[in-house]
Each structure stands twice: as C-alpha cells, then as structure tokens.
Amino acid sequence: MIVGMVIGGAYNGVMAEERVPAYKNPNMPIEARVSDLVSRMTLDEKIGQMVQAEREAVTRDDIKTYMIGSVLSGGGSVPAQNTPEGWADTVDNFQKGALETRLGIPIIYGVDAVHGHNNVKDATIFPHNIGLGAANDRDLMKRIGSATAEEVRATGISYTFAPCLCSPQNIRWGRTYEGYSEDPKVVGKLGSALIEGLQGHRKDSGFLKGTKIAATAKHFVGDGLTKNGIDQGNVTEYTDEELKKFIKPYKEAIKTGARSVMITFSSINGLKTHGDYHMITEVLKGELGFTGFVISDWNGAQQVAPGDFRESIKRSMNAGIDMFMIPHDWKRFITTTKDLVAKNEVPMSRIDDAVTRILRVKFENGLFEAPFADRSLVAKGVGSAEHREIAREAVRKSQVLLKNDNHILPLKKDGLNIFVAGKKADNIGYQSGGWTISWQGETKPDLTKGTTILEGIKEVAGPNTTVDYSQDGTGAEGHDVAIVVIGEPPYAEGAGDRTDLGLLQEDIDLLNKVKTTGVPMVVILQSGRPMIVTDQIQDWDAFVAAWLPGTEGAGVADVLFGDYKFSGKLPYTWPRNMEQVNNHDKKNPLFRLGYGLKTR
C-alpha cells in the first residue's frame, strides 16, 4: 500500500510537470521553448506578435483582444505622471492585458533611450553620440550603457532603440549628432561597447535580464550617406563595395549580441531599404548571421510603395522585416497581413521566421519569468549621483579644445573676474539638444534636473573668483576673461537638416558685443555637428567644441579650470566653408578629423 502511494505520487508529479507547456518551463533551452510556443500559435496570434503599437493608440483591452506583441513610446510620448512609478504602472497595465491572452505571451515595450533614458523627467542625460565619439573611450561607453539600462529598467521597460551606428558623411544631415563619428571604425568600437553595457555580455547568465535591456543597432544601412545630407533621402554616391565599410559597425554589433536591428528610412539608388530583400535577408540575416528581430522605423514600411498600404506591407514583410513599428494603423496592418497570407502573397514560413525571432528575444529578455517592473528598481529611481558622475566624466572627456592662444586655458581657479555671456550658458534644454523629454527637445532652462554650464563654472571656479552673467553680453567691460556660450537650438531628424551651417545671427551679435570690450574671449560652442566659424574664430582667444553635453554641464568647467586636462579629439572633419561640406572635400579643412589640443 505504501509502495503504491509513493509510486502514485511520483507518477502524479511527472504528469503535473508534463502538463506545463515546454515554453513555460524556464529550465528548457530557449530554442525549444520558442519552437513549442510557435507550434501552439494561431495565425492571429502570430500576426499580433509582429505589431508594435504606440502607447497613445492602444489599450490594455486591445492588447488582450488582438494579442499585440509590442508597445512603444515615441519621442515625447509619456504617461500622465512622468516618473519612474508612472511609467512602470503604465507598462505593467499593458503587460496585464498580454498575460490575459490564451498563451500569455508578454509584450516587449520599446523606447528611444538614445542618450540616457531621455523621455523621463530627471533621468541622467548623457552627451549625444557625437560628443561620445570625441571622448572615444570604450570603457566609458560600457558604463554609460549599464547606467542607461538600469534607469530604463527602473521604469518597467526592457528594450531601447539605440545605438545609432551611422557614420555621417554630410553634416548637413539633422541626425549627425546621433553618429559617433564619420569614421566607421570608431562607430563600430563605441557602438558595440554601448550595446554590451546595455545588454550585458552575451555569454553571461544575466544577458538581457535584471538591470540589462535589449538594444537596437540602427538604422541599417546608409543613413548619413544620403545625397545632400537629406533625412530619409537617397544614397547615390557610393558603390556596393564602398557601402561595405559602413556595414562593418553592424557586424561588430551583431558579434556583441545586438538583439534588434532597425531599418533606415533612406533608400539606396531609389530602393527603399524597408523593401530591400538583399540588404535585410541576404546581407543582415544571411551574411552577418543576425538572429534577433528586424524592426521597421516609425511607419517606415508604408514608404516602400507610397500610397499603397497593402503593397508596402507585402514588400517589406517579404523583404525580411519581423516587427512593424506601425504606431496608429496597426489594426489595418493585422487585417492586411491576414489577407496577404490567405492569398499566398506572404508565405507562412516568413511569418514563422518573424515570430520565432521576436519570441527568441522575449525569452532572452526574461519577460516570461519576470514580465512586470522590478519595484525595487522603480523605488531606486533615475538620475542617481553615481550615474550623473559618469555623465560628468563623459562631458569632460568629450570637450575638444580647438584654439588656445597664449595658453589662456586652463583658467586660474582663484582670483579671476569672469564674465559669462549667452542664454545658452544657463539652459538645460539647449545643452541637451533633441530627444530630450520631447522628440525635438525644448529650450526650457529647467527642462529637466541637471547642472548648466554657468552653474558648473560657479561650482568649479574657486572661492575667490567672481562670476558675472549676462544673457545678451552686456557688461563684459573690466573682466579678466569672457566665456561666451553659443550654439544650435534643439532639433531632431529632418527638422535639423540645414543648407547653411553658419552661426546664428543672435550668436554673431553676442560675440560682437563682447568683442568690442577687448576682454579676452573663450568661446564654447554647443552644437550637434561642426559649424562654419571661419570668419569669427580669429577674434577668439580660445575655442571649445562642447557638442550637446546633456544634464551635467559641470563637466565643461572641469576642463576649463584645469581640474582635468582636455583630451577630446574631433570625431568629424571641421570644414572651412559649405563648399567643402557639399563636395565632401576634406583635404584642407579648418580642423582635420582627430584634431584636438591638450592643456598643460
């Protein structure tokens, strides 16, 4: 009797274990879990996984009804309470809808955390990539990635659309600042380091889990190479052989373990890359061996056959796109895709490949075991002193000293009478640039928590130093030195495309006002690319390219006053005039690629 009870109990235990689907068993290999889950899915469930809808255009009930696989927050798309708790509550609510579906497949929530978790109020905002290219520090990139991942996880999110692996060749492009350098070798080195920081090491047990998130290598391939630097434009000036060097950063990213690749809006010789089977399936998935999922850019698939939604979806899906960032028109996408499959215009093998890739990353991301926000990380919040110190280090390492007559820099820390001029010296919005709180960025002085350049100067200058400030440059007379802060207003993507990269008239007027006083000038330029300063630089005693430093402006002061030496080097050739920009002429620039002075 006792033996029978034992045997019966053991048998019941085995039966109970067998009743648990393989895909729900965390001890099973991921590929086995993926295969088991795909085998259980209906066509509707599979198509749902291929949808990424915008937060504002989907509800918890929609996710449950349509079995949607992903939700995103575009630039500036934030919950009513823009706090870690507000974000985590929003994401968890969507997640509850996903877990109420028949198979309980969790969503993966994506966000543009491109220089820190930049949609979130009071998060640490790191320098934009152009500045990090000037710093060119692989270890720093890993630490930035790790800090960013932790802040993203603190809001219940596990997926970011970063980094950008473009190597811009025409700085008229409005996304130049998203590229680490015009040199693909630098881009590959820094981009892969950031990915490792975001995701963890691909062979570690904690890969993509805990405080790590899934990264996206974007935008494959050719953004930054378009004719005249036009955003979403056409790549016509490069042969297939020449394009290969711009693909190499993606090869490095994939080797590092990048789990998502986003396709570029641009075209190559008239063919939209969203519909390019050769580039997506043969090159990216084939030659480069990419095993994660390919995601479209915002409504990018619909551009393949303008005005023909059905044909656009058909071509882009057959080209190899797996997840469709289709923020608002996702219901139409679902019905269209069902019809395409029913009429054999998209094979089931293509659907299964897409879903397999998406689910693979979700399992790796730990979403089946831990679908909800880690409330201990939420309580820890964003913008910690530790993360801000990493950002401050990044700022000081990114500063490039381009002129330093009579060794005016570093400035003495005690006893100077300093004049600071320009509204951009005391404005978090200007120094953070686009993709900060909102898509295009804002010029609000107190846009988010941080330290402005002016505040940093006052902090670092020393107790016996006088620091006077004027937005319009009035009152420079009688000072030992004037620090004049100028630069571009915030912008993102096509809104930043320019035909003229000269300084703004308001900055020229500011410079001229201070110049008339005869006070030595240290000029700090905040910009998302090199600007044409050839006619003005002769009037400056020192010139610093500060790029878009983010929230930790004191890093600029750290090198101005010699607490740390200048070490940044130009990640882009600095042109003398627009003719050099338009003609890709880099033979006699104002400053060559890699130039940067050091202080004693």
Does residue 549 contact residue 408 with C-beta atoms inside 8 Å?
no
* Residue 8 clears pLDDT 80, i.e. is over it: no
The verdict on whether 329 is a catalytic residue reads: no
Residue 9 confidence class, pLDDT cut points 50, 70, 90: very low
How many residues are there in the chain? Answer: 600
* Cα–Cα dist 237/409, whole Å: 42
Strands (E), 36-77: 51-54, 70-73
Residue 18 confidence class, pLDDT cut points 50, 70, 90: low
Strands (E), 363-449: 400-404, 417-421
Helices 240-256 and 184-199: crossing angle, nearest 10°?
Answer: 20
Q: What is the mean pLDDT of residues 89-95?
A: 98
DSSP 8-state secondary structure symbol assigned to residue 279: I
User: How many domains would you assign to the chain?
Assistant: 3
Q: What is the mean pLDDT of residues 198-226?
A: 97
Does residue 588 contact residue 437 with C-beta atoms inside 8 Å?
no
Q: Which own/partner contact pairs does 62-66 have at CB distance under 8 Å and 24+ positions apart?
A: 62/97, 63/94, 63/97, 63/98, 63/101, 63/107, 64/97, 64/98, 64/100, 64/101, 66/330, 66/331, 66/334
* Residue 277 clears pLDDT 60, i.e. is over it: yes
Catalytic residue among 297, 322, 364, 541: 297
Picking from 43, 99, 40, 111, the residue whose alpha carbon sits closest to that of residue 72 is 111
Strands (E), 423-574: 466-470, 481-487, 521-526, 542-545
Picking from 347, 353, 321, 369, the residue whose alpha carbon sits closest to that of residue 34 is 353
Q: Which of 350, 380, 410 is the last residue of a domain?
A: 380
* Cα–Cα dist 55/329, whole Å: 13
Residue 374 maps to a domain: yes
In the structure encoding, which two tokens stand for residue 211, read together?
Answer: 């405080």
Same domain, 27 and 49: no
Residue type, 414: D
Q: What is the pLDDT of residue 449?
A: 98
Q: What is the pLDDT of residue 19?
A: 84
Residue 593 maps to a domain: no
Residue 386 maps to a domain: no
Does residue 156 contact residue 105 with C-beta atoms inside 8 Å?
no
Same domain, 26 and 115: no
In the structure encoding, which two tokens stand for residue 233, read together?
Answer: 């434009």
Q: What is the mean pLDDT of residues 28-53?
A: 98
* Cα–Cα dist 307/131, whole Å: 39
Query: What is the rounded average pLDDT for all residues in the chain?
Result: 96
Chain segment 337-395, per-residue pLDDT in tens: 999 999 999 999 999 999 999 999 999 999 999 999 999 999 999 999 999 999 999 99
Q: Say if strands 271-272 and 267-268 run parallel, antiparallel, or are unpaired.
A: antiparallel
CATH number at residue 470: 3.40.50.1700
Q: What is the pLDDT of residue 12?
A: 46
Q: What is the pLDDT of residue 4?
A: 43
User: 48 CB contacts (<8 Å, ≥6 apart)?
Assistant: 66, 67, 68, 69, 334
Residue 277's H or E segment, with its range, is: helix 277-277
Same domain, 481 and 565: yes
Same domain, 305 and 345: yes
Same domain, 344 and 441: no
Chain segment 464-482, per-residue pLDDT in tens: 999 999 999 999 999 999 9
The phi and psi torsions of 125 (rounded to 5 degrees) equal: -105, 115
Residue 393 maps to a domain: no
Collapsed DSSP state (helix, strand, coil) of residue 597: strand
Chain segment 110-131, per-residue pLDDT in tens: 999 999 999 999 999 999 999 9
Domain of 155? 41-380
Same domain, 510 and 555: yes
Q: What is the pLDDT of residue 7?
A: 41
Q: What is the dihedral of CA 537, 539, 540, 546, to 10 degrees?
A: -40
The verdict on whether 122 is a catalytic residue reads: no
Q: What is the mean pLDDT of residues 197-218?
A: 97
Q: What is the mean pLDDT of residues 546-552?
A: 98
Residue 84 maps to a domain: yes
Residue 414 confidence class, pLDDT cut points 50, 70, 90: confident
Same domain, 65 and 31: no
Same domain, 167 and 273: yes
Cα first-last separation, the chain = 89
Q: pTM (2 decimals)?
A: 0.96
Same domain, 276 and 346: yes
Q: Say if strands 108-111 and 70-73 run parallel, antiparallel, or are unpaired.
A: parallel
Same domain, 414 and 328: no
* Residue 507 clears pLDDT 90, i.e. is over it: yes
* Cα–Cα dist 354/475, whole Å: 64
Residue 598 maps to a domain: no
Q: How many CA atoms lie within 13 A of 484 on its CB side?
A: 30
Q: What is the mean pLDDT of residues 34-39?
A: 98
Residue 54 maps to a domain: yes
* Residue 495 clears pLDDT 60, i.e. is over it: yes
Q: What is the pLDDT of residue 511?
A: 98
Catalytic residue among 493, 507, 541, 552: 493
Same domain, 238 and 375: yes
Residue type, 486: I
Same domain, 18 and 143: no
Residue 600 confidence class, pLDDT cut points 50, 70, 90: confident
Residue 186 maps to a domain: yes
* Residue 15 clears pLDDT 80, i.e. is over it: no
